[in-house]
Chains A and B, each alone.
Chain A
Amino acid sequence: MAAVTPDQLHGHHAPRGVMRWLTTTNHKDIGTMYMIFSFIMFLSGGVLALTIRAELFKPGLQVVQPEFFNQLTTMHGLIMVFGAIMPAFVGFANWMIPLMIGASDMAFARMNNWSFWLLPPAAILLIGSFFAPGGATAAGWTLYAPLSVQMGMGMDLAIFAIHIMGVSSIMGAINIVVTVLNMRAPGMTMMKMPLFCWTWLITAYLLIAVMPVLAGAVTMILADRHFGTSFFNAAGGGDPVMYQHIFWFFGHPEVYIMILPAFGIVSQIIPTFSRKPLFGYASMVYATASIAILSFAVWAHHMFATGMPAAGQLFFMYATMLIAVPTGVKVFNWIATMWRGSLSFEPPMLWATGFIFVFTMGGFTGLICAIAPIDIQVQDTYYVVAHFHYVLVAGSLFALFAGAYYWLPKWTGHMPSEFLGKLHFWCSLVFFNITFFPMHFLGLAGMPRRIPDYALQFADFNALASVGAFGFGLSQLIFIVVVVKCIRGGERAAARSWESAEGLEWTVPSPAPYHTFEEAPVVR
């Protein structure tokens, strides 16, 4: 067993059972809890999504009422964004960043615990709001005024849930920034850091900058709802469009918060299975930073149809298209890493290459949406739904699975089943495309989003999408089997679980001992 520090011995014996998890200050415990929590949220959000798809299987109203349908789309978005994707990446950060930079733990271990344990209360408020009088908020995950000013108590619960999640994110982000800047082992210079740490450092800055803005936006809604203010009320000199500006000032950086760590994970995996170092490490760092900086100057591309002076439309259109440049640099570098590599396609690599392929399609549809005259046609149609599911599901979620398969040996000490991992991948890839590819056509043909019923000509593609969605949902159960099997046994994993995997995390045994790097390693 690794040496126990005096700090840890201090309490005579570590708490056991539930108390261990409630009080832990260990980054691995906390990382595990983040990931379990986010997976539970992923399944809950998934149930809502499947209810939506069941309703949309054929025209007419059969499963739910329109009011409830809108609650479903709203809560699906909120739960997936704030409950599933974001916490999952924080879980990866908790587990891996200290291991990658040779730190004994996160910089603020106690605050780390609080960052996690704020999430369950927020989830209780959010999910509990379904049972409030009038049900959950149905204003869409973007909570646009004036709808959000008019909803019932569910809206207030959602506002407080967002406040609590914001506190959690800001504390988590500050923790990550400080850990990366201050806890690196001797010799681990910034430009030697694994790319995952770089992408998270930049993501953490984004979080610190925009989560407070979201808090401000929902606070204004709260004030408009209950305290008589007129931020979003034209009669009082305010403007509902102002809400959209404030929200998307948060919202666009937010989508990069959900994709930059994914870029980091993929940049760890591709070199390992290409058996070559990452192509263009420095340009990856600069590309990440420029994406982050640009992301503050593009928010109104979500508002082309809302009304804006032409100069504004042009500015936001060109600024948005500019983001495609650093994004393209990244995709180029991944491909160049694979070019003439000695490739093998174990599950992590399958997911990572799948990510590149499908995420890039999402990037292209993003570019199409960025063209103002086109976007005025497709805004609020299923085309946008297709776009953001290509970047969020095939982007963020696929990268999360890639990372999970890559580091499961380090977490559990056993290799994940290769067969099941591949099955999981192929089922997900196929069903994902069956679900979301037809949505491009639906959107171009004019089917609006967030509508429980639709015109007859959309029926076939919708039926197809619903079948795909149920297939996709069921495929995720394979992952549960993989993880449970991996925890309970299987092929023993070596310290360096994948041949030619680089990085400090592969120098500690698998599973990683409870305490690692209590004496900092020296990096040369």
Chain B
Amino acid sequence: MNRASGMHAGDHYFVPEPSKYPIVGSVALLLFGSGAALWLNAVPAGRWMFFLGIATLIFMMFGWFGQVVRESQGGRYGRRVDKSFRWSMGWFIFSEVMFFAAFFGALFYARVLSVPWLSSGDNAALLWNGFSGAWPTAGPYAADPFTPMAAWGIPAINTLILLTSGVTLTFAHYGLLNGKRGQLKLGLAVTILLGAIFLALQAYEYIHAYEALNLRLESGIYGSTFYLLTGFHGMHVTVGAIMLTVMLFRTFAGHFSPEHHFGFEAAAWYWHFVDVVWLLLFVVVYWL
């Protein structure tokens, strides 16, 4: 076997010691999955298993990510580990893109194919007489009429908010790169605040949709795609905001240097991804 001589410590790739966090996470997801299945089928114990699962998962994430942060601060990650993190975060975000693609695909299929099919040819003549197939629709057998969500109210404001938050985050990043910690903290805090406002407006919009517009999950394919797309997006905004909050706390704790701050960058990438998804949502769900 060839043993290269001139290797120095920086080339040594960090391999962590055995860890109990993964198995804790597995127990958490077992509780989460079985609890959810039981709860959905009206078995009372399910609810408690579900929440216990979530609590265990949060505990696990605190422990695991905390350890990663400590290892990073302890200088145990070399350049190659950093590169691994970059690759992995990129591909993780790509997998998220594909998750959203499934739901965007469903929306596309419904609008371009299945609804027009339902309102034309034999379907129109024999089955769903009088169904116009105009979008938005709750389908030919609609239970209750509803008002679709207008694009130029809250959704437009939310678009502005998210776009601005992308700018403030970049502002924070420049602060970090130039060693201006004040700018970093300010930029991060404003970004998180904008994220929180976005979520609050989104929550208000949902309440409004249910109470004033009668737009519900049950409102046929329009309600289905509307709520699942915006709902999953909102969940991702929440996760992104939590990530940024962690980064803010780490900044206060003195972490990150102009050269070494992948944790921050990963959170920023994620935030921009969430931003782009929203733009798509705004165009195809609200506007067109």
Contact = CB atoms under 8 A, between A and B. Distances in A.
A160 B17 contact: no
Interface string B218-230: 1011111101100
B102 A246 contact: yes
Interface string B127-165: 000000000011111100000000000000000000000
A110 B22 contact: yes
Question: How would you classify the secondary structure of chain A's contact residues: helix, strand, loop or mixed?
Answer: helix
Contacts of A186: 4
Interface residues of A, number: 93
Interface string A206-221: 0011111101110110
A237 B115 contact: yes
A470 to B, nearest CB: 34
Contact of A110 (B3, B21, B37, B218): B21
Interface string B61-95: 00010000000000010001001100110011011
B1 A238 contact: no
Given A208-B94, A212-B96, A236 B220 contact: yes
Contacts of B21: 110, 114
Contacts of A167: 29
A164 interface: yes
Contacts of B285: none
A208 B139 contact: no
B15 to A, nearest CB: 5
B234 interface: no
Contact of A23 (B18, B34, B110, B227): B18
B231 to A, nearest CB: 10
B242 to A, nearest CB: 18
Given A14-B18, A160-B36, A163-B33, A107 B98 contact: no
Contact of B88 (A107, A215, A235, A239): A107
A228 B218 contact: yes
A223 interface: yes
Interface string A22-35: 11110000000000
A7 B17 contact: yes
B23 interface: yes
Interface stretch (A82-90, A282-290, A515-523): A515-523
B138 A236 contact: yes
Given A114-B26, A156-B36, A228 B216 contact: yes
Given A178-B87, A237-B221, A211 B36 contact: no
Given A118-B26, A216-B102, A237-B137, A229 B33 contact: no
Contacts of B92: 170, 174
Nearest to B142: A236
Contact of A237 (B20, B32, B222): B222
A242 B106 contact: yes
A384 to B, nearest CB: 25
Interface in B1-44: 1-4, 7, 11-23, 25-27, 29-30, 32-34, 36-38, 40-41
A519 B3 contact: yes
Contacts of A107: 84, 88
A125 B88 contact: no
B132 to A, nearest CB: 12
Contact of A521 (B1, B83, B115, B228): B1
Interface in A161-180: 161, 163-164, 167, 170, 173-175, 177-178
B99 interface: yes
Given A227-B217, A246-B105, A522-B2, A208 B95 contact: yes
Nearest to A116: B22
Given A231-B106, A235-B140, A522 B34 contact: no
Contacts of B30: 121, 124-125
10 contacts: A120-B26, A156-B40, A170-B92, A178-B87, A186-B4, A210-B98, A228-B217, A231-B224, A234-B140, A237-B110
Given A121-B26, A160-B34, 7 more contacts: A117-B25, A178-B91, A217-B102, A223-B228, A229-B223, A230-B221, A237-B137
Interface of B: 1-4, 7, 11-23, 25-27, 29-30, 32-34, 36-38, 40-41, 64, 76, 80, 83-84, 87-88, 91-92, 94-96, 98-99, 101-103, 105-106, 109-110, 113-115, 117-118, 137-142, 216-218, 220-225, 227-228
